[in-house]
């Protein structure tokens, strides 16, 4: 896989309630820092289901994006943004575990609430899996809050299988514990 900042990967339209929604999946570029920070902070406010549950600063986001782009250049990570109606409103990644587990990738995805249940997340995961194969990923693993039924449904629909649940592995902002469900899918 050759990484090229901003490279478009897929583009499509969705009709929803009489409105046309334009979706473009592409690689990130450093000039996306501010927009990605706004999106991730918005998603953090909208859901309890993210691993990171605190706001990020521009400095933190710039460092993270720089590190992510460097990892993409060396074939250790895939990161795709979902530009929806011209704004970054979703993203997903697959990162190699490295070493003896370099053929295993860890998948993560987030999408603004108003764009869920439209198939965007499903298409993003399918694209991530296809791109992951190009960097040598053979197995994808992921985790989600045990009570996140929407995520579980999408992952099962895409062929992910359950490996188990770690009790009390995640603690929400209100202090309540949740089990972390581990899932995987063999790609090749």
Any domain includes 154: no
For position 1, what pLDDT does the model report? 63
pLDDT tens sequence across 10-67: 999 999 888 999 999 999 999 999 999 999 898 888 766 566 667 889 999 999 999 9
Report the distance separating Cα 108 and Cα 125, nearest Å: 9
Any domain includes 168: no
Of 69-73, 158-162, 171-175, minimum mean pLDDT range? 171-175
For position 68, what pLDDT does the model report? 96
Domain count for the chain: 1
- What is this structure's pTM? 0.92
Any domain includes 175: no
Any domain includes 160: no
Q: Of the candidates 163, 159, 103, 179, which has an alpha carbon nearest to the alpha carbon of residue 136?
A: 103
Average pLDDT over residues 72-91: 96
- Assign residue 63 the CATH number of its domain: 3.40.630.30
Report the distance separating Cα 3 and Cα 88, nearest Å: 19
Two tokens, residue 34 = 């501010």
- First-to-last CA distance in the chain? 17
Any domain includes 151: no
Any domain includes 70: yes
182, 145 Cβ separation under 8 angstroms: no
**Which ranges in the chain belong to alpha helices (H)?**
33-46, 58-73, 120-134, 149-157
For position 25, what pLDDT does the model report? 98
Put the strands of the sheet holding 77-84 in their side by side order.
Answer: 8-16, 19-26, 77-84, 87-96, 104-111, 139-145, 177-186, 161-171
User: 129 lies in which domain range?
Assistant: 8-142
Report the distance separating Cα 71 and Cα 57, nearest Å: 21
Average pLDDT over residues 149-170: 94
pLDDT tens sequence across 93-141: 999 999 999 999 999 999 999 999 999 999 999 999 999 999 999 999 9
Phi, psi of 104 (to 5 degrees): -110, 130
Would the pLDDT of 154 be above 80? yes
Any domain includes 119: yes
Of 81-95, 108-122, 168-182, minimum mean pLDDT range? 168-182
Any domain includes 62: yes
């Amino acid at each position: 896989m050759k990484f090229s900042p901003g490279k478009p990967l897929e583009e499509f339209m969705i009709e929803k309630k009489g409105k046309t929604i334009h979706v473009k999946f592409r690689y990130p570029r450093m000039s996306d820092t501010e927009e990605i920070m706004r999106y991730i902070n918005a998603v953090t406010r909208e859901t309890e289901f993210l691993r990171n549950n605190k706001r990020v600063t521009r400095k933190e986001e710039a460092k993270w994006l720089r590190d992510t782009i460097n990892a993409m250049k060396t074939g250790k990570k895939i990161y795709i943004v979902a530009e929806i109606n011209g704004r970054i409103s979703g993203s997903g990644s697959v990162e190699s575990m490295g070493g003896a587990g370099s053929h295993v990738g860890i998948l993560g995805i987030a999408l603004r609430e108003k764009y869920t249940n439209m198939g965007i997340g499903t298409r993003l995961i399918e694209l991530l899996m296809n791109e992951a194969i190009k960097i040598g990923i053979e197995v994808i693993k992921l985790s989600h809050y045990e009570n996140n039924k929407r995520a579980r449904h999408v992952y099962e629909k895409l062929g992910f299988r359950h490996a188990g649940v770690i009790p009390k592995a995640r603690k929400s902002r209100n202090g309540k514990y949740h089990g972390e469900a581990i899932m995987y899918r063999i790609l090749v």
